[in-house]
Copies of this chain bind each other. A is one copy, B any other.
Amino acid sequence: MMKAMGMAAKQAAKKLALLGTGEKNALLDAISANLLARTPEILEANANDRKNAEEAGLSPALIDRLLLNEGRIASMVEGLKTVRDLEDPVGIVKEMRTLPNGLQVGKKSVPLGVVGIIYESRPNVTIDTAALCLKSGNALILRGGKEAIFSNKILVSIVQDSLEALGYDRTFVQLIEDLSYETAGEFMRLHEYVDVLIPRGSAKLISRVVREATVPVIETGVGNCHVYVDDSADFDMALSIILNAKTQRTGVCNAMESLLVHGAVAESFLPLLESALTAHGVTVYADEEARAIVPVFEAATEEDYATEYLDLKMSLKVVKDLPEAMAHIERYGTGHSEAILTANYAHAMTFLQEVDAAAVYVNASTRFTDGSELGMGMEMGISTQKLHARGPVGLKELTTSKYIIFGSGQIRK
């Protein structure tokens, strides 16, 4: 079954690659209109998912992630409009030059072909990724979580009906409805048909994909992000950034999970920090040095420093200097987003230079590692690997290039 879906996607990709910007934008507009027109169907399907989730005993936070209402549907439509208004990433020729033998060589951006995504929970991902793939000329195969299956089915039907109404193949966007473990495995090994697979979800899901996939993978998401408060940091700025990075939204990969504080300012800064965090209901797991100053902090275990809480919890460690902070980040970080708060120019530059992560910040919240904040509209996920795309995966990252070469009879000497 997966093979048939892969073949259909590959055929779809050929057609999609030839669509012009106007055609692709019209398609996104049609999907927007149909999402609004068919809102009652979406709400009904979503109610089914949430009823099942309640019966299965899912947490209120998870059920909230599942929820679609008119406001969230309006946000999806907003997202479609944003993507429509972004520059078409396909067909851009870069570095066109003439070689000494007269050959004219350029690199042209082209769609990747067939994109696969395996994701969990939030059904808006279904529409976001369809929008990004269609605009970038890629066919898409989606494999969502079983908790959102009714919502995903109606959303993909609406996309497919919109495609069909405009004379395109429904196979431009396909949903895997068989959610078995085996079928997911088959999907991961469909390298003959799928050009890239993006897992978006738990660390467990991502690690299975890395282990089993023969399709090239863009690893996303696990973010054990650190903020390091240097001895020269401005305390007010530090408190504001730490609160933002930890509490503005907790269930996201760019939230701060661990705080490092220079020993020279621990005694003066930690009490201020404690009262600010307590006011926001944040539990802190700290090392002995910090607990000697603020005894109400819980004791941290080794495991705490490796934990992505995705919750109002964080780990904290007092370090003796910048090198110790960077060594800690190297050991426990996941290469997502890391920040230094400092007034020291040399420390800022060293941190930027030496910390190995998708995004490295000076004096700002880690929460900006996000496609929409960085002007990319939205994203397929946030890559924490180094190959192909690092950081948010947007339209441009859904393309590859081909050399186009205009000759007049040249042969190699």
Distance between A15 CB and nearest chain B CB, rounded to angstroms: 11
Pick from A38-46, A277-285, A402-410 the stretch touching chain B.
A402-410
Residue A105 lies at the interface, judged by CB distance under 8 Å to chain B: yes
A29–B410 CA distance with the chains assembled, in angstroms: 34
Taking CB atoms, residues of chain B closer than 8 Å to A14 are 330, 354, 356
Residue A367 lies at the interface, judged by CB distance under 8 Å to chain B: yes
Residue A24 lies at the interface, judged by CB distance under 8 Å to chain B: no
A17–B401 CA distance with the chains assembled, in angstroms: 27
A211–B367 CA distance with the chains assembled, in angstroms: 37
A367–B413 CA distance with the chains assembled, in angstroms: 10
A267–B17 CA distance with the chains assembled, in angstroms: 35
Taking CB atoms, residues of chain B closer than 8 Å to A367 are 411-412
Mark contacts of A371-413 with chain B using CB atoms, 8 A cut-off: 1 yes-contact digit, 0 otherwise: 0011100000000011110110000000011111111111110
Taking CB atoms, residues of chain B closer than 8 Å to A113 are 356, 386
Number of copies: 2
Contact A407 B361 (CB under 8 A): yes
Residue A237 lies at the interface, judged by CB distance under 8 Å to chain B: yes
Contact A387 B387 (CB under 8 A): yes
In the complex, chain A residues 241-267 whose Cβ is within 8 Å of any chain B Cβ? 241, 243-245, 248
A391–B237 CA distance with the chains assembled, in angstroms: 47
A369–B360 CA distance with the chains assembled, in angstroms: 36
Contact B409 A363 (CB under 8 A): yes
Query: Which of A103, A210, A330 is packed against the most chain B CB atoms within 10 Å?
Result: A103
Residue A196 lies at the interface, judged by CB distance under 8 Å to chain B: yes
Contact B196 A386 (CB under 8 A): yes
In the complex, chain A residues 59-115 whose Cβ is within 8 Å of any chain B Cβ? 99, 103, 105, 110, 112-113
Partner of A391, one of B243, B248, B403: B403
Contact A403 B214 (CB under 8 A): no
A313–B329 CA distance with the chains assembled, in angstroms: 56
Contact A360 B404 (CB under 8 A): yes
Mark contacts of A27-54 with chain B using CB atoms, 8 A cut-off: 1 yes-contact digit, 0 otherwise: 0000000000000000000000000000
Given contacts A216-B385, A243-B411, A360-B402, 20 further A-B contacts (CB under 8 A): A103-B368, A105-B374, A196-B387, A216-B386, A216-B387, A218-B387, A240-B409, A245-B411, A360-B403, A360-B404, A361-B407, A362-B406, A363-B407, A364-B407, A364-B410, A365-B411, A368-B405, A387-B400, A390-B401, A391-B402
